[in-house]
Structure 1
Amino acid sequence: MPADLAVLGLGPLGLPLAQAATAAAIPTIGYDPDPLIVAELGAGRLPEGAEGTLTAAGIRRMLSAGFRATVDAAELDRVRTAVICAPTRLGEDRALDLSAIGEAARTLAPLLRPHTTVLLESIVYPGTTEDYVRPVLEAGSGLKAGRDFHLAYSPSRFDPGNRQQGYANTPKVIGGLTPACTEAAAAFYGRVCDKVVRARGVREAETVKVLETNYRHVNIALANEMAVFCHDLGVDLWDVVRCAETKPFGFQAFRPGPGVGGHGVPIDPNYLSYKGRTLGYPLRMVELAQEVNGRMPRYIIQRCATLLNEHGKSARGARVLLLGVGYKADVGDQEGSPAREIASRLMEMGAQLSYHDPYVAQWYVLGRPVPRADCLYEAAAVADLTVLLQPHRKYDLQGLAAKAQLLLDTRGASPAGAAYRL
């Protein structure tokens, strides 16, 4: 039976969509150029970094429902809907790398048929769908977007590890190249989501993601600045946030941390690298947020060194245990995680580093493997300093605080008075 849906890119964006579509009884195939990812999925196992996105049991249910993963592009033929979920990351110049999107579009283009609906969910700049993806699809297919096939954008809103909001019950924003494209996208997403929100056009839908991502980063940056400010004043920031969030209007609580990671990178549309041009001005709030959040790993190192020093120990030779090395709680995905910079700086200072993370079996920093603690509480008891980076639900923080010699909680998740907090 030919597939109805093809998902291109089986990472943190594509897998949740494939799972939701399969659960909605939509015949689905997943394409990924990485044979290791495809092999793991085909065997019913989680690809590395997919923890929190779905479970091995979830993959097996998908397979039993007819889902299959492939590296064979020919299997994309005859699908009614194709969704590009290729990864985009910030390069050293702070511009988004769109090469994986371009490769996915070039793979799909020669297989496009009239009346196919093509959707893009990857994180992009406003204008990418129309000015970058569209020409690739049209050149490779000989078809015209908006006339021969539908083209639309829908920002991914999946939140790994979130037990309340999943793919189906999170409203889906869509914007098409034409009104007909928007309706074609709505017809598809209406089969997998409870609510579809139509944007005025494709660029408006793309800009929704820019606003949502930058909103998060700017507000986290404010929380991080407040953390440093309150620590210097001797004020309990966590109590401040607890009280402030009782205000029923005009305030949404954000909390500080050791840095910001994940796939929702802060986007400054000043760097429109796919066109080789810029707007001529930056989004100053976004740049400042990047700067503030980028300083947090160094601040964590400063707090670590100070704590050790206050207890008569030097960072050189100190046994330091890091807890949770993914970019957020309850996931193993390390994309943009501040843990790596924190670890590398500690190693450069001469600390004896180890880590614990129930979702990460092996971890390398500066090209060297970091020892993994098998028994969390025994490791915390012998460590000179334990640093909580991600408060996984599997951690008993009360018990951990009782065992650790020194505990620095960068997330404010431990019981009040049980640890040193950010």
Structure 2
Amino acid sequence: MTGGVLLLARNAIVQQSARDRQEIVAEVANDLRAWHARGGDAALATEITSRLDTLRGENLVLLLTAADGRVIAGNLAAWPPVVARTTNWQTIDLFRTGADRAERLGISATTLPGGSHLLTGHVIESDVRYAQVSQRVLIAAFLFTVPLALIVAAAMTRAINRRVAGIADTASAVAEGDLARRVPLDGSGDSFDRLGDGVNAMLARIQTLVEELRIVTGSLAHDLRGPIFRLTATLEEARNATDDPVATAAMERVSVEAAALQTMLATAMQIAQAEAGIGRDRFGDVDVAAMLGDIGELYGPAAEDRGITLVVTPFEGHFRLHRELVSQAIGNVIDNAMRHAAGATRITVSAILSEAALTISVADNGVGIAVADRATALRRFGRLDPSRHAPGAGLGLSLVEAVAHLHDGNLALGDNAPGLRVEMTLRTQG
């Protein structure tokens, strides 16, 4: 921007100087035409000679020639061949009388009454030199300032990127579960330091809330475990103490509901903890094939009792994950398929590792879930109409999705044609 202003200023000065020279030449020409009007060629020749003698060494150029081209007076040896007899303004290199080199002149010419010709001009050599020098200075300034500006800009960009990278690294570390991480400050008190202070205060508050969540969830699980256990024990004692079949059946139903409540509470706490990032410290390098094999052995007999074949496709590879949570998530999907996939005769568990992401799929050949109903199936406590009569709280897929998010991944429901395909993608590795 500064270079543009300097260029405009330089051009304005050059143009104004040229206009000043033209005005001077025009005034001299008008004055000399007045002399010619009063006394003809003789009076004009006398005035030209007088001015040149008086202004010797000045930059004035004057020439009066007769109609036939003969020089009457002036400081040019002859009328320049390239100059028309009448012209308003023209720049040309000419030798003045007695000069040893050509000079840049700005001239105008006119034909006088009687046929004689008058040329008036001014040496503009200094203006030309100024224009040339100023142009070279501007070019030199650009050649110096542009690299300097680029160096300064690169240094500032690098400093800004370094400060922003510190904030970004902190955000990434916190997202991965390192709640003690803070934005580094340099003590300068600049905008980045103030931003870092604000972010660090926010992170400290988040760390406090998460710690409180850990305490509350742990305390809640511990405190409710006792009452539910005592409730179950009391029901068992009451059931053993009565022979009334109606009362016994009612207490059986209450026991089932108590067990379901305990399971629901445990699952809800697991979801809350996974969404808060709790559990990343228990990530480890896991043999995925062995994990899937254990799941197959655990759920295979139950599936066989329901007339369903559970197939675990071969897989080789390790991945960094939370083994217990991922195993429970896969088990939830298999259990859902066994209980809710009407008409299913086969459930297939497979895994694919690509681009640092592990995708675990559980597919069945049952009736599947309509596209319009899949969002409901993923919603917490969401249950589709056909499954409302079945046991459960609608938290199975919510837990699977929370576990996927804990691993920086996602959960997707797709069409297995026929049936449903549930794909859990995990992206935390290394």
Which band: TM-score by shorter chain? Answer: under 0.3
Which one has the bigger helix percentage?
2
Bigger radius of gyration: 2
Give the TM-score, by structure 1 length: 0.27
Give the TM-score, by structure 2 length: 0.26
Answer 1 or 2: higher relative contact order, Cα 8 Å, separation at least 6.
1
